[in-house]
Amino acid sequence: MRLKNKVAIVTGGAGGMGQATALRFLAEGAKVVIADFNAASGEDTLKIAAAAGHADTARFIRTDVAQEADIKAMVDCALDHFGRLDVIFNNAGVGGAIGPVWDLEEDEWDYTFDVLVKGVFFGIKHATRVFRRQGEGGNIINTASVAGLSGGCGPLAYSAAKAAVVNLSRAAAVQLAPDRIRVNAICPGFILTGLTHPHQQSLEEAGRFLDGLQPWPQHGRGADIAGTALFLASDDSAFVSGEAIVVDGALTAIGPDMWQRYGVPREATMTKSRLNKGTTGETSTARQLKD
């Protein structure tokens, strides 16, 4: 029970990694406000929580994270039902505007930034007001993305928005440290959720497609993000703040994936050990693997 007596809010808590995190937090003893735009998914999530024995410790509130009044109502929901707030996971998200930069419309750009960045700002702002009143510190976790760390991991507007979430998290961590409020971001790679599961594909097909996208043999699951969020929400990470934790099966670690660009399958580089002596004039060698 790593979150016993803690009260948490999870935005986007009725879908994908948010739902996995809400259910994990409940299982770890937290009281959880599940906030989501999609009321039908919210009701379904409450049923799952109730079936797992958490009927009294889970609440749903329909929330548009891009609306400040909704965020305020969401925070008030936690206070009204559970009396305090300890953790907020600003996780709600959409793919947003997708297309060439010269074709994006202002309203499409604004929608993307309103949900992905302004929603996180509102969440930080209103949770912080409560944390400061309570005077016992606080814990903020924001979902960014590997798309916020390079130019090749997602649509342009989405990548810009997620980069903003990474640095918003860092800047807030600095500003809020004196109040012992921790702020961290999670940067997921490809996680199988509604967002990465095109409707024309079966879940298995979508999973198989994602499997091939990173060095790790299997795709990421909501539970992988839930585990990371639990670590950040718990006292096990008491001195971790201002961090952007990448959870991507080594996707970003592989960088430009040189072997693939040379047309050499990665496995082919693992059959022999070689010592390349470059242009020294000495002979390069190759030997069988010892093990």
Residue numbers at the binding site for ligand NAD (CB under 6 A):
11-12, 14-18, 36-38, 41, 63-66, 91-94, 115, 143, 145, 188, 190-191, 193-196
User: In the complex with ligand NAD, which residue's Cβ is closer, 152 or 278?
Assistant: 152
**CB of residue 282 to ligand NAD, shortest distance in Å:** 47
User: In the complex with ligand NAD, which residue's Cβ is closer, 17 or 166?
Assistant: 17
- DSSP letter for each residue of 127-154: HHHHHHHHTS-EEEEEE--GGGTSSSSS
Q: What are phi and psi of 59, to 5 degrees?
A: -130, 150
Can you tell me whether residue 105 is helix, strand or coil? coil
**CB of residue 153 to ligand NAD, shortest distance in Å:** 8
d(CA 3, CA 9): 13
**CB of residue 180 to ligand NAD, shortest distance in Å:** 26
Closest C-alpha to 120, from 73, 169, 170, 191: 169
Helix spans in the chain (H)? 16-27, 39-51, 68-82, 106-113, 119-134, 156-176, 203-211, 222-233, 258-261
**CB of residue 193 to ligand NAD, shortest distance in Å:** 3
Can you tell me whether residue 192 is helix, strand or coil? coil
User: In the complex with ligand NAD, which residue's Cβ is closer, 12 or 138?
Assistant: 12
Contact present, 88 and 8 (Cβ < 8 Å): yes
d(CA 211, CA 144): 21
| 158 belongs to the catalytic site | yes
User: In the complex with ligand NAD, which residue's Cβ is closer, 65 or 140?
Assistant: 65
Beta-ladder partners of 139: 87, 182
Give rounded-to-5 percent helix, strand, coil for the chain.
45, 15, 35
37: which DSSP letter?
Answer: S
User: In the complex with ligand NAD, which residue's Cβ is closer, 111 or 272?
Assistant: 111
Active-site choice (158, 193, 224, 244): 158
Tokens of 32: 């959880």
**CB of residue 190 to ligand NAD, shortest distance in Å:** 5
User: In the complex with ligand NAD, which residue's Cβ is closer, 137 or 155?
Assistant: 155
**CB of residue 239 to ligand NAD, shortest distance in Å:** 25
- Active-site annotation, residues: 158
